Amino acid sequence: MYELKVITNFSAAHQLKEFEGACEELHGHNWKIEVYVTSDTLNEAGVTIDFRTLKKHVKAVVGTLDHKFLNDLEPFRNQNPSSENIAKYVAEQLALSLQAPEIKVSRVTAWESEDACATYYP
């Protein structure tokens, strides 16, 4: 199996409800998003997917979150925009965006600080 990883970043504000601690207050993070995709096969060019193509899809998905107040966005109306839920959202939207059955989004990690991250495995 082949696995590719690309990294991107976004900045946004959020507020975690029913959360005891500083995260209940409105605050922001510079998130780092790591996306992993896997494939059993390579295309005619000998690659899983062109990195530029993959990055374009990842940036389009992550761009929907950049410089936003995440709690106001549709996917987070009924669930906290936690790093866990952000990772899940990116994984699901990326899978829809790629529309390539041979390429699987195997995990997405959302770093909300240098030493804290959440990973979602679809």
Q: Which residues bind Zn ion (CB under 5 A)?
A: 23
**Shortest approach of Zn ion to residue 75 CB, angstroms?**
16
| Residue placing its CB nearer to Zn ion in the complex, 23 or 100 | 23
CB of 101 to Zn ion, least distance (A): 35
The nearer residue to Zn ion, 22 or 45, going by C-beta atoms, is 22
Q: How far apart are CA 117 and CA 101, in angstroms?
A: 28
- Burial class from Cβ neighbours inside 10 Å (0-12, 13-18, 19+) for residue 49 reads buried
Q: Is 114 helix (H, G, I), strand (E, B) or coil?
A: coil
Beta-carbon count within 10 A of 1 CB: 9
Give the residue with the Cβ less far from Zn ion, 95 or 111. 111
Residue 23 C-beta: closest distance to Zn ion, Å = 5
